[in-house]
Amino acid sequence: MNVSKPISPAPSWPLRGRPGAGYVGRAAFTLVEIVIALTVVTIIVAGSIPTFRGLRDEQIAREPVQSLARLAKEARLRAMKERRPYQIAFYSTGFTASRHFNPYLQMQELSEFMQETSLAAQADQDGDDEEVQEGLKEPSTDLPLAPPPKKADDQWSEAYTLPQDTHYSIQFWHEQEPVFIEGDQVKLWVFQPSGICQPLTMRLDRPSASFEVQFGALTADIIKEKSDLK
């Protein structure tokens, strides 16, 4: 007795890629979809360019503020370490950090001091190079001596030159109005051996942005800042 096997019904789902199948998967985007996708990408890129440009302009314009904050921290640390006051001198073309040597500092005296420190730093560098060369020529067999005590760095100074399109003013806590730094005017920001300094507000204006930065008295850090991109 022959028993025939039941015939399985054909699958109800369509087979992809087979000729004559009830459904064929999409192998590519249509031209309309490509055009829409490119349009969306173009709009996103075009909208992000002004944002990146604005961030770059703000970073460049903020460079004097960052330089002043760095010099203030360095001057404060030196004042506490050496137990003597340090200063930042503001003048029309920039500012310079150094030891405090004259509470009535004039621009001519500051220029002479900066020139002297530059020459002294160059002489020290030349002396170090000569010592290295002598050490390479003739090695010493003597026992190393104890290093001499470290002296205060009387000749240390570091200056920052403002961009030519920059104007700024300085206002200490006891002053009612900000003072614009121009001409041969010099104003001093002094850091005491205890690390304390006068609270200071600097207003800086450039064609691309303006800043108003306030420095605290205890740490000379920036405690308040306002910026306006133009």
Q: Is 204 within a domain?
A: yes
In angstroms, the CA 192 to CA 98 distance is 13
Total number of domains in the chain: 1
Element (H, E) at 191: strand 187-191
Q: Is 8 within a domain?
A: no
The pLDDT value recorded for residue 204 is 92
Residue ranges in the chain modelled with pLDDT below 70: 1-28, 45-59, 121, 123-153
We report the CATH number of the domain holding residue 83 as 3.55.40
**Average model confidence (pLDDT) for the chain?**
78
User: Cα dihedral sign for 70, 72, 75, 81?
Assistant: negative
Place of tokens 């051996």: 193
Q: Is 190 within a domain?
A: yes
Q: Is 194 within a domain?
A: yes
Measured in degrees and rounded to the nearest 5, phi and psi for residue 136 equal -75, -30
What pLDDT digit, counting tens, does each position of 159-214 carry?
A: 999 998 889 999 998 899 999 999 999 999 999 999 999 999 999 998 888 899 99
Q: Is 14 within a domain?
A: no
**For residue 223, what are the domain limits?**
62-129+156-229
Q: Is 150 within a domain?
A: no
Q: pTM for the full model? A: 0.65
